[in-house]
Structure 1
Amino acid sequence: MDPVDARYPRDEVGAAADAYAAAPLLNCLLREVGERVGPHTHRLRASGRLLRVRGGRRPTHPEVHADGAWHPLTHAELVKLTAEELRRHTGLSNSELPTEMLDSREAVAALLRARAHATAPADPYLRSEQSLITGHPYHPAPKARGGGPVAAWLPYAPEAYARFPLTLLGVREDTVVEEGDTTALDDLGRAPHGYRLLPAHPWQLALLGRELAPAFTDGRLVRLGHTPGPVWPTAAVRTVYAPEDDLFLKFSLDVRITNDVRRLWRHDLLRLHRTDTAVATAFAGLPGAWLSDRGYRTADFAFEELAVLVRDGFGAHLAPGATPLLAAALTEDFDGNPLDRTADPAAWWEAYLRAVVPPALGALHHGVVLEAHLQNTLVAVDSDGTPVQALFRDAEGVKLLPEVARPAGWERLVYGLVVNNLMEIAEAVAERHPGTGLWPAARRELARHGEIPEIAALLDAPTLPGKTNLLLRWTAADGADARYLPLPNPLRGA
């Protein structure tokens, strides 16, 4: 289970926020620059310091050994220790990342306070998207929101059970840039003659501020009010779901969340149609489903800043009678998590493997490398909570062969599918249902795809690639420049 529950007296918010924020930071620190020297004890390689933690996949209560005794660390003290260790380890200084770590913890505290006075959505899918209080379990600052004031971002935070209307803009027709199928945008409201409708995320509009003032002054932009109904922010923050329209919309958001500033970059938009077409073509012959990024619309004077991407809703993609859930939510606590009620965890795990693995590996046959991590994977379950289908999303993270070399594409797929996805789900199953044998079933499922030449080596490799998000951010590397370190392979000998 998570280190703390979101329901607690107000005076415990600080301790709860410390625990939530410390868990992913400890995961990064111990994985990337530490080594295990005892059941719960680790040595940091550069300094030789000993750290002791409790818990398993979400470590808590960090203590450092000094002067012959163990001393507990607050989150702020853990951040300071981490920065000192990374300076020794890399020879580099970084003032930005420690600030992000502290910002992430303050964001968690604000989210917990907000959740205590908010009502979770009734729909289990929306509840799963808005459940991620821990967030990325191997990122040092998964909940940082750019350091802005809480009042600026909290109304749009999925973890606070937010919902809000979109701002509707009219963009003068001669300035519109679009590609693909964007007709769904025109159903959100009415634009005056000579203009096209463009929905905007209100947080992004506030961030742009005076930058758009000239366009409003000279008539290239006009304000048209708001959508009549609310949208719900998903775990990705800048992507929202409109249930009444069964439509996903993805916006630019000039805020750093995890490794990147979350803008819809021009180069990604210009390759969107080619990438999405390749994925949709691959999925035409595969189990599972692809939620197509069918098109985008923007203005030529604010190409990236005002871009909005139109993504398929569930529509005909979802298996009849099935309920979609965000796969990442299965690793956290939320009302409706099927892992809490399954009577046969081994069978549940095998069903999850059957749903997720074949489409992810099958796409590779068509030259498509999915970013099959937990936040891009939705698992649809039947009335008993058993997985029956996987749905994948987000063309921005997809790589196509031979645009990326096959070895690099394979490494990316193994990290997303096996390390980020299957290993995390397996640990969540094992935590709730100790003693369940999991990796032999995973080995059998992967072995079924022996036509992929890399599978045999994967099954017997001593290690798997683990992404180094802490070192990536400390060294200020580009967020897309993934770097990996070897992790023990649970498939080997399973």
Structure 2
Amino acid sequence: MNASSAHGPVPSPGGSPTGSCLAGTERPEVPRQAAASSGDGDRPMRPEGTPAVGDPLEQSDSAAAADAAAAEGLLRCWVRENNVRQPPDGVLRIALDATGVTLCVPVLHWSMTGWHRFGSVRLDGAAGDEPVDAVLLASLFGREASHLSGGRTGGGEGAALVARVADSVRRSADFLAARRAAPGPSAEGDLFLEAEQSLLLGHPVHPTPKSREGLSDAEAQAYSPELRGSFPLHWLAVDPAVLASDSAWYDSTATAAGRGGVPVPAATLAARLAGEQVAAALPESFVPLPLHPWQAREIRHRPQTQRLLDAGLLRDLGQAGDAWHPTSSVRTVHRPGAEAMLKLSLGLRITNSRRENLRKELLRGVEIQRLLRTGLSARWRAAHPGFDIVRDPAWLGVDDPSGGPVPGLDTVIRHNPFGPEDDAVCIAALTSPRPWPGLPRERLLPRLAVAVEALARSTHRPVAAVATEWFLRYLDRVVRPILWLDAHAGIALEAHQQNTLVLLDSHGWPCGGRYRDNQGYYFRTSRREEIQRRLPGAGAASDSFVADDVTDERFAYYLGINNVLGLIGAFGAQGLVGEPLLLAAFRQFLQTEASGPGGAPVSPLPERLLSEPTLRCKANLLTRLHGMDELVGPVDTQSVYVTVDNPLAP
């Protein structure tokens, strides 16, 4: 791991290199059904479930493949949000009363967890047997949703959905074409960056996973992780009179280890990251503030920012310094070897939100660092040494002289725990199909399938047995520590697939994990006294306390449905192992976690997932059609949630 540390004398997250982090651990027991699977020649037999021929995603035309991916995402949303059942004859028929037509879609794979695979959509009825592309499908679904809601959705938001679907399809086509032309690893040789820039198709149950309104084609080349973009940052010089900042960053040194490390102000960190070129242009006593170049151009047109520039309280230094690389979130940037990443404000609408940092999120990142340093991190790491939070321990922003933050200028300084050999992959990137060197141009595979099949070959074991063991190790190294934090500290993490990183050893087995995101912490109101006893005032200014019933609902969606059930769906959709087997393994894991060893505290989530016949699930299509921004307003009103069947229920 990277030797720099924001945590004082506590070892850097991850401890030993990922290649050796499984040394001395026992192999989880694999259920007999998987262990008994047979092989064929030197390649283990894969269970049936994924079509090997005629996959719509594997068309040689990248635009057609991108359109198929978008249509499939829209269909998954519609099926989930309208509780559509599996068709007995293998053809999904969706009658749309608002337009008087019926969609006919062949089902290639029906998933118990929602990761369905579909063939090409056809329009049946008065219009005849006509093909339907993703843009037309979005228009039809928008009209139907408006009809079903009595006009509460649709209208301008329906038109906006169509535009964003078109934008997402076009960008996905560009990403696929570029990666098909150069499927090999990037020149940087940084495994974390390689994984972050590999998420080509995005969220599998989202209508517009790659939409980026306001980004020109030229800008997309530099700012898109999928195109392996990179760019120098734009720098402002900030007068200390309007600077806002906080830091709980500590440099570890041998002399300061006994005192918990040397505190480092955010301004000092920013100067270290800026480098000599920016330092030479910096007016005396001013502090450097990094911005995304797109954001720097956009905020100049905001009156509040322009007044500060005119008054000389902000000075524009332009783009300067070394190149930084966008990660999978687009706005967080990484520079291999740097001690920190930067989570920049970016006013583009990406998926469901404009991605400008909110001041309460910055406060929350520093607060979490301080909470963990009260001894909670030491207890957590003693129980689960392979897991940690990627810390956001410092931030900078600008306050208006008349009071309040200046929107769009807040920047998070995120600790970078990853060295170039640390194989840390977010689950979304692990499960997203992409081209690979040595395979036919049109062939798409997720890294999950590549890793599991390589393990099966090297161990001479059936793919299903290896896939099941991989999943069991994931539950132990990643899910169990997240449940521990809820049980022992009353803090639930918004651990969806984008925010959850799995550390892979040199063979491809899960050996640890990380959580990232200063937005996604839920402090249970029932644990308020305990949390504030640990850190007085915690959760107040950061607006982090959430009612237990809302916490339970969100935790069940993010960790239960999106993360683990989504991972099960990816295994099934790739034909690596049947979903019923992994669901049984997940139930067994949850039963163990629901009881707890020796009366230890337990999270409510395992019992909820085991016993509830239905679960509440975020509805990305309806959220988009309601025009909701998921970063605005209280947690319980930021998104539309629907009730879905629980595949884990008895």
Structure 2-normalised TM-score?
0.69
Report if the CA contact (8 A) 2:428-2:497 is conserved: yes
Match of 1:174, as an amino acid?
A
Match of 2:289, as an amino acid?
L
Distance 2:323 2:495 in 1: 29
Flag the 1:224–1:41 CA change in 2: closer, same or farther, 3 A: same
Match of 1:359, as an amino acid?
P
The secondary structure found in structure 2 opposite 1:285 is: helix
Q: Does 1:388 align with 2:515?
A: no
Distance 2:234 2:127 in 1: 59
Q: Indicate the larger mover: 196-205 or 484-493.
A: 484-493
Report if the CA contact (8 A) 2:211-2:350 is conserved: yes
Q: Does 1:221 align with 2:314?
A: yes
> Which of 269, 283, 305 is 1:192 aligned to?
283
Q: Does 1:89 align with 2:148?
A: yes
Please name the residue that 2:139 is paired with.
80
After TM superposition, give the deviation of residue 227 of structure 1 in Å.
Answer: 5.0
> Which of 590, 602, 608 is 1:446 aligned to?
590
After TM superposition, give the deviation of residue 442 of structure 1 in Å.
Answer: 1.1
> Which of 59, 72, 80 is 1:31 aligned to?
80
Instruction: Provide, for residues 26-67 of structure 1, a one-character-per-residue CA deviation record: whole Å limited to 9, x for no partner.
Output: 211222136233334143475583431443334341223214
The within-5 A match list for 1:330-345 is: 330-334=430-434, 337=448, 338-343=451-456, 344-345=466-467
> Which of 161, 185, 194 is 2:228 aligned to?
161
Please name the residue that 2:648 is paired with.
491
Please name the residue that 1:289 is paired with.
388
Structure 1-normalised TM-score?
0.90
After TM superposition, give the deviation of residue 238 of structure 1 in Å.
Answer: 0.5
Distance 2:311 2:177 in 1: 43
Report if the CA contact (8 A) 2:92-2:107 is conserved: no
Report if the CA contact (8 A) 2:201-2:433 is conserved: no
Distance 2:346 2:563 in 1: 26
Report if the CA contact (8 A) 1:134-1:142 is conserved: yes
Please name the residue that 1:55 is paired with.
108
The secondary structure found in structure 1 opposite 2:519 is: helix
> Which of 42, 64, 67 is 2:123 aligned to?
64
Flag the 1:401–1:453 CA change in 2: closer, same or farther, 3 A: closer
Q: Does 1:414 align with 2:556?
A: yes
Q: Indicate the larger mover: 391-400 or 54-63.
A: 54-63
The secondary structure found in structure 2 opposite 1:375 is: coil
Please name the residue that 1:20 is paired with.
69
After TM superposition, give the deviation of residue 101 of structure 1 in Å.
Answer: 1.7
After TM superposition, give the deviation of residue 277 of structure 1 in Å.
Answer: 3.4
Please name the residue that 2:301 is paired with.
210
Distance 1:222 1:147 in 2: 25
Aligned pairs, how many?
Answer: 486
Q: Does 1:41 align with 2:100?
A: no
> Which of 325, 330, 338 is 1:245 aligned to?
338
Report if the CA contact (8 A) 1:239-1:250 is conserved: yes
Distance 1:172 1:117 in 2: 47
The within-5 A match list for 1:219-368 is: 219-224=312-317, 226-278=319-371, 282-286=376-380, 287=384, 288-301=387-400, 303-314=406-417, 323-334=423-434, 337=448, 338-343=451-456, 344-365=466-487, 366-368=489-491
Q: Does 1:428 align with 2:570?
A: yes
Distance 1:74 1:45 in 2: 16
Distance 2:102 2:371 in 1: 50
Report if the CA contact (8 A) 1:54-1:61 is conserved: no
The secondary structure found in structure 2 opposite 1:229 is: strand
Match of 1:285, as an amino acid?
R
Distance 2:377 2:122 in 1: 49
Please name the residue that 1:455 is paired with.
606
Report if the CA contact (8 A) 1:272-1:395 is conserved: yes
Flag the 1:109–1:132 CA change in 2: closer, same or farther, 3 A: same
CA RMSD across the alignment:
2.7
Distance 1:389 1:401 in 2: 26
> Which of 619, 626, 629 is 1:468 aligned to?
619
Greater relative contact order, per chain length (Cα 8 Å cut-off, separation 6+) = 2
Distance 2:125 2:591 in 1: 48
Report if the CA contact (8 A) 1:33-1:46 is conserved: no
Distance 1:300 1:461 in 2: 47
Please name the residue that 2:57 is paired with.
4
Report if the CA contact (8 A) 2:56-2:120 is conserved: no
Flag the 1:163–1:54 CA change in 2: closer, same or farther, 3 A: farther
Match of 2:649, as an amino acid?
R
Q: How many percent identity over aligned positions? A: 32
The secondary structure found in structure 2 opposite 1:390 is: strand
After TM superposition, give the deviation of residue 292 of structure 1 in Å.
Answer: 0.9
After TM superposition, give the deviation of residue 412 of structure 1 in Å.
Answer: 0.7
Instruction: Provide, for residues 282-308 of structure 1, a one-character-per-residue CA deviation record: whole Å limited to 9, x for no partner.
Output: 443222111111011012246331111
Report if the CA contact (8 A) 1:27-1:59 is conserved: no
Flag the 1:195–1:448 CA change in 2: closer, same or farther, 3 A: same
Report if the CA contact (8 A) 1:34-1:44 is conserved: no
Match of 1:341, as an amino acid?
A
Match of 1:110, as an amino acid?
D
The secondary structure found in structure 2 opposite 1:341 is: helix
Match of 1:384, as an amino acid?
H
Distance 1:377 1:236 in 2: 12
The within-5 A match list for 1:74-153 is: 74-92=133-151, 93=154, 94=157, 95-116=159-180, 120-121=185-186, 122-153=189-220
Q: Indicate the larger mover: 221-230 or 190-199.
A: 221-230
Instruction: Provide, for residues 410-454 of structure 1, a one-character-per-residue CA deviation record: whole Å limited to 9, x for no partner.
Output: 111111111101112112222241447211221122222223345
The secondary structure found in structure 1 opposite 2:627 is: coil
